[in-house]
Amino acid sequence: MGLTRSFGPLSPHAPVTVNYALDGPPHKLLMHPFPRRVRAVAGGRTLLDTRRGTLVHESNLLPVLYVPEEDVDTSLLVPSDHTTFCPFKGGATYRSLKTGDTTVENVVWTYPEPIEAAAWLRGLVAVYWNAADAWYDEDEQVFAHLTDPFTRVDIRPASRHVVVTHTAPDGLETVLAESGQAGSSGQPMVLSETGLANRWYLPRDDVRVTLAPSDTRTRCPYKGEAVYENAELPPDVVLTDAFWHYPDPLPESARIAGLVSVTTGARDDGSTVTVTVDGEPG
């Protein structure tokens, strides 16, 4: 993620502010060892258990774990006729996962004869993340994907004036939250995640509208499980999943505990939610 997106060196649009040149195609691949044991469990069985995993970074994609075939329980796999072709890796063959009476189609793939430029993929297999019931990095369960050693999440307190505004289709503006000025309850935090725009996290008491629970949940391997809330604006406007927070963030993101952030951009009803920081787009 850190290498292949945005301004990363393996991005198709890598920055020109460098004193070197990368000799390669716009679509780049890089593989390196993953430093810890990884396990995947499906149907109560260990599908994958490896200390020899590797991460393959591919332009514009999240890194994917590839492991030696010997580290996968092939007794849980059944043949599939499905195949795909990647111009950067070659032809892929697939196998399906069978546990008990349940079969999940085409969840494990390999490149039996990868193209010469990716010959190092020979003998390695990959598993779709959602095919397993649980993944473990050493003994800690992880969600969404493995963490990328080239990605950082930095959280810093900021003496900045942060304003969250909702603009209705008719131009009516409503301040949803405001932090970092006299009268606000605390200090905003800025969260910088490699390759992504800054996110601002504000004290809950600085939200000026009513928040109501939403059923939406998302998971981040760097921050934990996010819980979303709807914003209720008078007289009868509801902004679905407008705010989110991490009730129990992972230790490395503990500083955002008790703070809320906001979903910005255009909404389905034609309205927009924006963040300004010291009067500038944030």
Q: Do 70 and 127 fall into the same domain?
A: yes
pLDDT tens, residue by residue, 149-168: 889 999 999 999 999 999 99
Domain count for the chain, please give it: 2
Instruction: List the domain range (segments joined by +) for residue 110.
Output: 29-142
Kindly tell me if the per-residue pLDDT of 1 is higher than 60: no
* Domain assignment present for 236: yes
Segment 211-218 shows an average pLDDT of 97
* Domain assignment present for 13: no
Q: Do 253 and 204 fall into the same domain?
A: yes
Q: Do 166 and 257 fall into the same domain?
A: yes
CATH code for the domain in which residue 46 is found: 2.170.150.40
Q: Do 184 and 90 fall into the same domain?
A: no
Q: Do 160 and 276 fall into the same domain?
A: yes
Contact 29, 124 (CB under 8 A): no
Q: Do 96 and 169 fall into the same domain?
A: no
Kindly tell me if the per-residue pLDDT of 184 is higher than 70: no
Q: Do 95 and 163 fall into the same domain?
A: no
Report pLDDT for 123. Answer: 97
| pTM (2 d.p.) | 0.87
Quickly state the pLDDT bin for 182 (edges 50, 70, 90). Answer: low
Segment 24-36 shows an average pLDDT of 91
- Percentage of the chain beyond pLDDT 90 is 81
Q: Do 203 and 277 fall into the same domain?
A: yes
pLDDT tens, residue by residue, 96-137: 999 988 999 999 999 999 999 999 999 999 999 999 999 999
Q: Do 135 and 237 fall into the same domain?
A: no
pLDDT tens, residue by residue, 58-89: 988 889 999 999 999 999 999 999 999 999 99
Q: Do 117 and 174 fall into the same domain?
A: no
Q: Do 178 and 80 fall into the same domain?
A: no
Report pLDDT for 214. Answer: 97
- Percentage of the chain beyond pLDDT 70 is 98
* Domain assignment present for 207: yes
Quickly state the pLDDT bin for 201 (edges 50, 70, 90). Answer: very high
- Name which residue leads in pLDDT, 17 or 200: 200
Q: Do 42 and 138 fall into the same domain?
A: yes
Kindly tell me if the per-residue pLDDT of 32 is higher than 90: yes
